[in-house]
Amino acid sequence: RDWFQKTQGVWISPLFPPLPSTHTSDADISQTRFKTDLIEYLKSYTSVEINEWIQTIRRHDLSAAKVFLVGSVPGRHMGADNKCRFGHLKLRRLLSEFGPSAKNVDSSWPAIGQFSSIGSLGPTADKWLTNEFLSTLSAVCGAKSLVTKPRLKLIFPSVENVRTCLEGYSGGGSLPYSSQTHRKQTYLTSYLHSWRSERTGRSIACPHIKTYTRLSGDSKQMAYFVLTSANLSKAAWGQLEKNDTQLAIKSYEIGVLFIPKLFTNQEFFEISKSEDSDKLSNNCFPIPYDTPLTPYSLNDEVWTWDTPHTQMPDTHGNAWIPQT
């Protein structure tokens, strides 16, 4: 079901050639430091099996990778350098160094998060979501003091999205957001947008993909794109602690960051409007959902997987009665 009935995302690397025979190296000549960051991430597992793969990676040239690696590793990462090695601070640092220019991207470019699970984000939006996390998504190069935060838009399936998807209500089993958590953060509803992907024919394929980006106000250009395993949670992205001196992360995550300049020498990607033109080489980027986004209507309800739905049958004629 994950492959045939959901919307997923996968990044496929270039073919990485082997280094000269018997030669292993951690040397990284790529602009994205992909090899260095991948080895650092894998080392954090302290696993014998994974260590074998690290040795394989060392024997290959990964300099053709044009994406940046953004990983999360459990722990409290302390110090100015260490706290920016993983989680959302790693993304913030990369966007500050390689992201869009402050003179070309202003507050009219909304930050967009799209995901398949939501964690506990705090009693008010500014506790983490619109303060710490949005500061990362809106990071730019240049005169940052002149930049105001953009609007935040979040894409997460509504009950109607789930009811009418290929799997029906059972598709919501892969969208683990609890009603108890939502009752503590109902402010989230004002940021939510429905899952809609008519362009790709995937409106009925429930999203399990997780992406983060910034789009122009007219939804025609994109400043960057993150494809990741990290859902919208402090556990996945990290939370600053002790006067911002450390970043606390609770889960392993991994993702890749696309910066337009590394693919096309252009400041922005163009948003693809046709499935046939989804080619990075043409400066068109295949985002998984339709633009402009579709805000929740007054009748829409955020999907929570432990809430029964017995009044309206799904696409298979079934009701939803969660197991307790």
Catalytically active residues are: 208
Task: Determine if residue 210 is labeled as part of a ligand binding site.
Answer: yes
CA distance from start to end of the chain: 23
Residue type, 260: P
Residue type, 215: L
Q: Strands 152-155 and 192-193: what pairing?
A: parallel
Spatial CA neighbour of 321 closest among 306, 304, 301, 311? 306
Secondary structure class of 174 (helix, strand, coil): helix
User: Ramachandran region of residue 33, left (φ > 0), alpha (ψ -120 to 50) or beta?
Assistant: left
CA–CA distance, 156 with 300 (Å, rounded to integer): 11
* Peptide bond between residue 292 and the one before it cis (omega within 30 degrees of 0): yes
Spatial CA neighbour of 37 closest among 90, 75, 79? 90
Q: Which residue has the tokens 């096309």?
A: 264
Q: Determine how many CB atoms are found less than 10 A away from the CB of residue 321.
A: 10
In sequence order, which residues have a C-beta less than 8 Å from that of residue 277 and are 6 or more positions away? 284
The CA distances from residue 109 to 32, 92, 102, 214, 224, in Å, are: 25, 17, 11, 6, 11
And the tokens for 159? 């009950």
| ∠ CA 151-74-50, rounded to 5° | 120
| Known binding residues for substrate | 210
| Known binding residues | 210
